[in-house]
A and B are shown apart, each in its own frame.
Chain A
């Protein structure tokens, strides 16, 4: 089904949030469609969490409008909260209650009675039903956060960086949970700064930078919009001569890097087959030994680089070093 033909579950128009003289979210406009996984990408401080908290009725916007599941986020926040699920990035649960007790308690907030053990079983935590949240590992706690957001069987769930700081194995288990939600028809709004996570899970993504949406589309369309969709890298141990390098220079934009094993030449291209054939032809006529060749497609990180002039990973590294 064409995604635009589905019903709109989130309709955001010129939404802004200012804190003193800081604009956390700056006049963003977008729609989210029923049943899709919608990614909000950007570095820390880009405004993702503020935007999610406004849409979930937790933070009052400074200006603009948004309807979520037909409810106005300013006026109907209690009705809205009864219909959605949310996993918050920085929140916790009562440390003196067991997982089972917390789920039953949270279900009671929605006027529901649930089988807590069955829910815990969905995320592999049935055996920890009598444990307290402080005794769980990071991955377990995050799985519990997600299942606690599902006690009211919501049609729409907000997941705010659900895999942040988790090891790859746990991240994969959370991706499975998210895919299961999608298969059930639940609309998911996911914030992340992991590009491969967004590419793998999201139907559409919006890039947020300094509170503004700088791009919004499917990952495929965004990557196709890159000037060069592929990166072809050849690694060699021997030193090239300038004539040999000039042959490559005529083929495509290239960067040359050195490392302790030798040299890497990186080409940014759209036609992979053509460049590989030309590399083979040139190297056949020279003494250069190619030790390794790799082909990588463009990533959402390249999109971020194209839009902002810096890679998302650079931004995150800088922030972490502050």
Chain B
């Protein structure tokens, strides 16, 4: 199990595409939003646009890395026959799944700290207050995104189609969940969709902790919704974790 976890981490680190979604993509966004001036725009009182958007970009990074990265990896494993080869060994499927999930969670954990560090350097302090809660919420979101990635890999076949499907989930979610602007600015008729999406609740909780420095009571609703998402998405994702290759 230990060796499988280490191997899974190595594989993610050596996969340039995964690393791009994990770090390069969100760092580019942070840089761009820092450089571009939105001085006249304040999404909420006392908060600059860059302060607002920084947690959104961290959430976006976690979403892309875990949905696109895991869906791509599982799809590649299936198409190249890696899952088939693993099934020929006495490796229990739950061990494989656990190692893949743990590897992504560990890398996402490191990813959050790197992005928090970059954000801090760029002038937004999300570290000083409620760091443990911030990371906990980020990890809940990561677990949901991993399950979404597994579900995409399960129901969509063909690597190109999997990547398209993963993008079709992540891109609208980024915009609808308030990564770049407050969800209150969206039309009324899409509000019910916004309230279903896990990224909405994750970003709401992250901003409440990192920017508003609210006590934990202010994030309970979002955390409960994220926990429900964790359970439901895991149930739907279970079958891909059984190493099925057809």
Q: How large is the interface on A (under 10, 10 to 19, 20 to 34, 35 or more residues)?
A: 20 to 34
Contact between B15 and A96, CB atoms less than 8 A apart: yes
Asked if B3 contacts A108 (CB within 8 A), the reply is: yes
The docked-state distance in angstroms from the alpha carbon of A110 to that of B3 is: 12
B85, A91: Cβ atoms under 8 Å?
Answer: yes
- Report which of B11, B88, B92 forms a contact with A96, defined as CB distance below 8 A: B11
Tell me the smallest distance from the CB of B244 to a CB of chain A, in Å: 12
- A84 to B, closest residue via Cβ: B88
Question: When the two chains form their complex, are residues A82 and B84 in contact, meaning their CB atoms are under 8 A apart?
Answer: no
Category for how many chain B residues contact A: 20 to 34
Residues in A neighbouring B14, C-beta threshold 8 A: 96
Across-interface contacts of B224 in A (CB, < 8 A)? none
B215 at interface by CB-CB < 8 Å: no
Interface assignment of A140: CB less than 8 Å from any CB of chain B: no
Is A90 on the interface with B (CB-CB < 8 A)?
yes
Cβ of B11: which chain A residues have Cβ within 8 Å of it?
94, 96-97
Q: Residue on A with the closest CB to B12?
A: A96
Residue from B3, B76, B88 in contact with A104 in the complex, judged by beta carbons closer than 8 Å: B3
A56/B3 in contact, CB under 8 A: no
Say yes or no: A106 contacts B81, CB within 8 Å: no
Contact B81 A90 (CB under 8 A): yes
Specify which of B3, B4, B85 lies most central, judged by the most chain A CB atoms within 10 Å of its CB. B85
Is A172 an interface residue, CB under 8 A from the partner? no
- C-alpha gap A301/B68 in the complex (Å): 50
- Is B91 an interface position by the 8 A CB rule? yes
Residues from chain B with a CB closer than 8 A to the CB of A106 are 89
Residues of chain A within 8 A of B238, CB atoms compared:
none
A91 in contact with B3 given A81-B90, A110-B90 (CB within 8 Å): no
- The answer to whether A95 and B88 touch across the interface, beta carbons within 8 angstroms, is no
Q: Are the CB atoms of A81 and B89 closer together than 8 Å?
A: yes
Residue of A nearest to B81 (CB): A91
A38-81 near B? 1/0 per residue, CB < 8 Å: 00000000000000000010100000000000000000001101
The answer to whether A88 has its CB under 8 Å from any CB of chain B is: yes
Is A240 in contact with chain B by the CB < 8 A criterion? no
A-side residues, CB < 8 A to B, are 56, 58, 78-79, 81-82, 86, 88, 90-97, 101, 104-106, 108-110
